[in-house]
Amino acid sequence: MSAILTVDGLKKTYSQGFIPKRREVLKGISFSVSEGEIFGFLGPNGAGKTTTIKCVLGLIFPDAGRIELCGRPHLDPRSKAEVGFLPENPYFYDYLTAREFLDFYGQLFGLAARVRRERIAGLLKLVDMERAADISLRKYSRGMLQRVGLAQALINEPSLVVLDEPLGGLDPLGRKEIRDIILRLRAEGKTVFLSSHILQDIEMICDRVAILVEGKILSQGRLADLVSEKILFTEIVLSGVGERDLAALGEPLSAQAGRTLLKVYDEARIPAVLELVRDRKGSVHSLLPRTQTLEDLFVGMVRPQ
């Protein structure tokens, strides 16, 4: 799989204010996104995710580094023609309707009127905005704007779709719908590059990730490689056994209604726990092995900073 986006040694420092105060936002980051994958770009707020994206898209000019998009320098219009972008907290021309708005972008790409009409119809259906298509954007909710924004990013049938915090501000149903659309895009052969700080969503859909903290990439690679499948501990919810007796086997945390949540770190002890419960005529309500989540990895990396 060839790389559709390569970032090498990207650096950016801002000097803001009347008496310039320098702030180094990107301290030399490098990563690459392969064709046809969903790439997650993680980091806490202020890490530099949006800055990186804006550098890639030509909205910000980096101080150093090289960016290659679709095999050409990133500012080449031919490369840009293959990219679709949804910014964070999207704002659009609020006096236009969704249809007019999408038509405007379609015209920018030089699409013929018939092609525009067909694509717009398809996209509106995809993002489930058909009913509201002729209401002016001024009246849209945040979630509706997000969907229209996603439609706009897809108007030119791009090979790379760049999404900056696409799931922010959506209710759980909305998030699911967007996640499904992203998965669909991959199925169609498109590459998706998304940034987020909601780790559960990333975990669910991304193939590879990079973790950005304070302008540096601390870790990148396949999700499966980064997050070990080792079982960290097992959570057992049981009743009928007192906490004192359980203390030797694991870490009891009391739950409600007479049930105890027991964290067992040593796998070997689990049979002993089950036997104890059976002896005391208690019940086991659930048994859940917990592997390392992305959140664990993430928190582990961010906190020491």
Partner 1 sequence: MTARMVKVIAANTFKEAVRDRVLYLLLFFAAAAILLSRVLALLTVGDRMKIVKDVGLSAISIFGALMAILIGTGLVYKEIEKRTIFTLISKPIHRFEFLLGKYLGLILTLAVMLTSMGLIFLGLVLVETGVFEGRILLALVYVFFELLLVTAVAILFSCFSTPILSSLFSLGFYLIGHFSWSLEALAKKVRPGPGRTLLGVLSAVLPDLENFNIRTEVVHALPLPAAHLAYAAAYGILYAAFVLTLAVLIFRRRDFV
> CA distances (Å), 123 to each of 83, 95, 98, 149, in order?
16, 20, 11, 11
Residue indicated by tokens 């920018």: 108
Residue closer to partner 1 (CB basis): 107 or 286 = 107
How do strand 64-69 and strand 72-73 relate by DSSP bridges? Answer: antiparallel
Shortest Å distance, C-beta 191 to partner 1: 16
Shortest Å distance, C-beta 54 to partner 1: 7
Residue closer to partner 1 (CB basis): 110 or 300 = 110
Residue closer to partner 1 (CB basis): 31 or 105 = 105
Residue closer to partner 1 (CB basis): 89 or 291 = 89
- Cβ–Cβ under 8 Å, residues 7 and 29: yes
Shortest Å distance, C-beta 9 to partner 1: 19
Helix (H) or strand (E) holding 137: none
Residue closer to partner 1 (CB basis): 96 or 261 = 96
Shortest Å distance, C-beta 126 to partner 1: 18
- Cβ–Cβ under 8 Å, residues 236 and 264: yes
Shortest Å distance, C-beta 102 to partner 1: 11
Contact footprint for partner 1 (CB under 8 A): 14, 54, 57-61, 77-78, 80-81, 83, 85-87, 89-93, 95-96, 104-105, 107-110, 149, 152
Shortest Å distance, C-beta 93 to partner 1: 6
Shortest Å distance, C-beta 137 to partner 1: 10
Residue closer to partner 1 (CB basis): 18 or 91 = 91
Give per-residue burial for 165-186: e unless 16+ CB within 10 Å, then b: bbbeebeeebbebbbebbeebb
Residue closer to partner 1 (CB basis): 153 or 210 = 153
3-state SS track over 72-111: EECCCHHHHCCEEEECCCCCCCCCCEHHHHHHHHHHHCCC
241: left (phi over 0), alpha (psi -120 to 50) or beta: beta
Measured distance between the N- and C-terminal CA atoms of the chain, rounded to whole angstroms: 34
- Cβ–Cβ under 8 Å, residues 169 and 125: no
Rounded distance between C-alpha atoms, residue 100 and residue 171, angstroms: 26
